[in-house]
Amino acid sequence: MKVRFWGVRGSIASPGPHTVRHGGNTTCIEVRTDDDSLIILDAGTGIFPLAQQLLKRMPVQANIFMTHTHWDHIQGLPFFTPLYIPGNQVRIHGGYDVVTRRGVEQIMDVQLQYSFFPVREAEMKAAIDYRGVNAGEPIVVGDATVTPLLLNHPVVNFGYRIDCGGKSVFFTGDHEPWPNIYHPDDNEHAEFQQMIDQQQAQLDAALAGLDILIADSSYTLAEYPAKVGWGHGTLEGSIAWGRRLGVKTLVCTHHEPERGDDALEAVFADALAAAGPRAGEQCDTEFLLSREGLELVL
């Protein structure tokens, strides 16, 4: 199984001289299974350069798994060139939006309104299929199994675990560890914390034996108090999570658009230094910052 990053920024694309090392496109990850089945995680602006690469290997058969419907994760989809070419097959998977009461098909429908985009869905000549996903219900793609897991974000967000040939990778999409909404002095604090701990334990159990964890690590621990409820994690929290799970590789992603490469690498180094070695712990986890073009082979 191969994992390649095509977009690593969060919130808004941020091209320019300060992002050339890690890249300025928003979230898109390509996964190639052992039998060469194509799985794409999210369709941020990074899906456009991926599309140009795919045109060299026609016809395209792709399974796109959408974590959620915020703009930075969907805005590249109308520019996914294989959608316009007859003979290609694209299956788009995603969750049900309890607010709009619509499924994953709304991702296209909303963006392709004539006021916002000059091309209609009817002009897309590929075979397009929309499939809903449910938490914990596995989906078979070629020789791989994709399992959606419901995470914490202001809209419905599914992380996806991909298992193939005895190897596994999990992408969180956007995820904020469940915060306790009560003050420590409140009577409800202890009971709510017990519920949070149970949710986290269930998620950890679902990720047992994981090889690669790709985690939303937008903020630093110092920045987080001002961002509670925005639906994103921290570098320090992701490092601790990767250690606790014992993953072989942790990839921190969804980089803050205002944080250039130098600043990004500095806060990452600080987070690793703060984590430090733990007494008696043997941690073989490799810690990485995502960057466009980064490829991991399992």
DSSP 41-74: E--STTHHHHHHHHTTSPSPEEEEE-S---HHHH
For residue 296, the cross-strand partners are 3
Q: Residue 151 has which token pair?
A: 């995470």
pLDDT digits (tens, 9 = 90+) for 28-66: 999 999 999 999 999 999 999 999 999 999 999 999 999
CB neighbourhood size of 15 (10 A): 12
CB neighbourhood size of 294 (10 A): 18
Closest CA to 107 of 127, 80, 85: 80
pLDDT digits (tens, 9 = 90+) for 191-203: 999 999 999 999 9
pLDDT digits (tens, 9 = 90+) for 150-192: 999 999 999 999 999 999 999 999 999 999 999 999 999 999 9
For residue 63, the cross-strand partners are 39, 91
SS3 138: coil
Domain 2-297 matching CATH 3.60.15.10: the answer reads: yes
- Looking at the chain, the whole-number percentage of residues with pLDDT higher than 70 is 98
Length reported for the chain:
298
Q: Residue 255 has which token pair?
A: 């980089």
Closest CA to 150 of 209, 27, 67: 67
pTM exceeds 0.85, yes or no:
yes
- Please state the domain extents for the chain: 2-297
For residue 205, the cross-strand partners are none
